[in-house]
Amino acid sequence: MNDYEVTYILRPNLEEADVDARATAIGEIIKNQGGTVVNIEKLGRKRLAYEIADLREGNYVAMQFRSSGEASRELERLLKLQEDVLRALVIHLDKKALAAMAHAAANPPPPMPSGPVPLTPPMHPADRERAQVASDRV
């Protein structure tokens, strides 16, 4: 069994319940092929980088799964046949990718500071002293 990740784009005119149903159905394809679904992440509706079939937006879904190579190729073939799937990409996750994903999950990024963010970087103490001396002369 190998680790894979598939990211696919569904049509933007699908309701949230339809997106959930399609994601579940695609997960069932993996299960029917003898694989297991590790995680399904619905990324929501996003703007596409370029038009696909005259559409500017799509519903993105990312799914991690474990299966054989034959099952992943069969999934790829079946995704090409589904009308609601605009694009799909299946990638094999190696040990480095799995380690990076585990590290990212264990160490979330620090929270963003609240309040206004200064537009200028803080001054070095020596520069601050020179600025103070220059303003005292005026």
Q: What is the CATH number of domain 2-106?
A: 3.30.70.60
Spatial neighbors of 33 by CB under 8 A, at least 6 apart, are 67, 68, 70, 71, 74, 75
CB-CB neighbours of 60 under 10 Å: 18
Q: Coil, helix or strand for 74?
A: helix
Amino acid, single-letter form, for residue 20: D
Q: Collect the ranges in the chain with pLDDT lower than 50.
A: none
State the chain's mean pLDDT as an integer.
Answer: 88
> Cα(100)–Cα(121) distance, rounded to whole angstroms?
32
Q: Is the pTM of this model over 0.75?
A: no
Identify the sign of the CA torsion 79, 80, 81, 85.
positive
Query: Domain extents for the chain?
Result: 2-106
pLDDT value, residue 47: 94
CB-CB neighbours of 95 under 10 Å: 8
pLDDT value, residue 138: 62
